[in-house]
Amino acid sequence: MKTTRKLKLILFFLILSTLCFSQKFSFIYETKYKAIKAKPEDITTENMILDFENNKSVFRESASKDADSLQLINKNGSYRTGVEFQFYVKKDISTSKIEKIVTYLHTNYLLPVDEKLNWKILPEQKTIGKYKAQKAEVSYGGRNWKAWFTTELPFNDGPYVFNGLPGLIISIEDTENEYSFNLIQIKKGVSWFDARSKTIKIDWSKYDTLGKSYYNDPWNTKTAKKATFIDPQGNQKDINEMIRQAQQSILEEDNPIELNHKINYL
């Protein structure tokens, strides 16, 4: 009798898991980060989305998803400039494949993320929102991270590159409190798409080269066709001064999420 009941429970959870993974889900995370070490009070806050279906996911800023949507209907989508502080990540949970996509000058570059996530699951538990969560720790990108995951959401995925725990990561932050991702909303059956399937594969060395190219010519003046810049008063702006200001801003934002791949611009 006990064996029959146990088999029924196993069958129930197998069916539940199949139903969950065959449906489309969007997990919205409130993301906060401090891009400037010297200004810890300057915190960027924006919502980012983890779209999940059939063990595959795309994580991106909500603004990036809007831009991707415009690209699919042959309209111009505005992407984040620069190379650092881009958060677009594609994952295939079934094959443990993680790919970071960096968009630079309208070209999508695919950067394989090979750094292993060696999780340490801890006994500490607490309730976050309506979910029972358990603590875990991992090192990634030159940072140490503490995460909370829940088995009540049977997706072993999470924000950005983070995945591989026995449940969805609903909260994760680095130990310096400079980057954090916190689940704030779940949507089921929403639109799921990948507009950045055409890519050029690179490594971290090429990533560094792209970043330096951006620093050397942040306004793309070498290839732009006689571009002119006008201020709100209608006066033409000095391009050299604009380049200087942009480079100063790039140098100021010195706290990327992957500290071990921080670009040395000078």
pLDDT at 227: 58
User: Strand 56-61 relative to strand 131-140: parallel, antiparallel, unpaired?
Assistant: unpaired
Over the chain (266 residues), what is each successive 10-residue block's mean pLDDT?
A: 45 42 86 97 97 95 76 55 93 97 94 97 97 98 98 97 98 98 94 86 97 92 64 74 92 97 94
Domain spans, the chain: 203-261
Where helices occur in 81-134 by DSSP H, the ranges are none
